[in-house]
Chain A
Amino acid sequence: GAGVSQTPSNKVTEKGKYVELRCDPISGHTALYWYRQSLGQGPEFLIYFQGTGAADDSGLPNDRFFAVRPEGSVSTLKIQRTERGDSAVYLCASSAGGTSGRAGEQFFGPGTRLTVL
């Protein structure tokens, strides 16, 4: 079946603009995660959804970042007033999850490369 998809694959924007990044998880996966990866680094956790609710948003760097998952499937990461330091690859992952939280394998999308000029 289809894997995790993310759109757009590349996004170039100007400092101060608003952007939305979309993630389509694997069908039936209840857990969805957003990570951010800078060049030469490992991915860093941003936010985790179990169903429609954000179970852990401790990784969001500041209040310019927000994410939603209104129907428990597709998720959108929203960044307001973008800054050059927001430039990175934004990765989405999903897993079968479960309320016990004992996560196993996560399936990652190809990422959205965000460049803020």
Chain B
Amino acid sequence: SQQGEEDPQALSIQEGENATMNCSYKTSINNLQWYRQNSGRGLVHLILIRSNEREKHSGRLRVTLDTSKKSSSLLITASRAADTASYFCATVGGTSYGKLTFGQGTILTVHP
């Protein structure tokens, strides 16, 4: 079963704009990860944030985590056409062995 929900389901923006995607989950977690999927490169890991962290940056990516609200957001700044893909959040539960529980994803389209 899916862990959580992502919002929005689809997002369409112009190149250079920022894109924000949100993820909610239901159970306690050890960490939360974001992945990108497109037809050319399959599913690729972007960033991991642990349950005791609140914010993390990697290049043009910024992830926040609010464990009290069981939610996370992914911000992509200065988007590029190459960022067009589906983005998934995935959680690792506190008692699991690292299996990922994915959300349903956000389809991002960046228009050049």
Contacts and interface: CB of A to CB of B under 8 A. Distances in A.
How big is the B interface, by class? 20 to 34
A28 to B, nearest CB: 16
B97 A107 contact: no
A2 to B, nearest CB: 14
B59 interface: no
A41 B99 contact: no
B100 interface: yes
A105 B43 contact: no
B43 A91 contact: yes
Contact of B100 (A50, A106, A109, A110): A106
Interface of A: 31, 33, 35, 40-45, 48, 50, 55-56, 59, 91, 93, 95, 97, 101-111
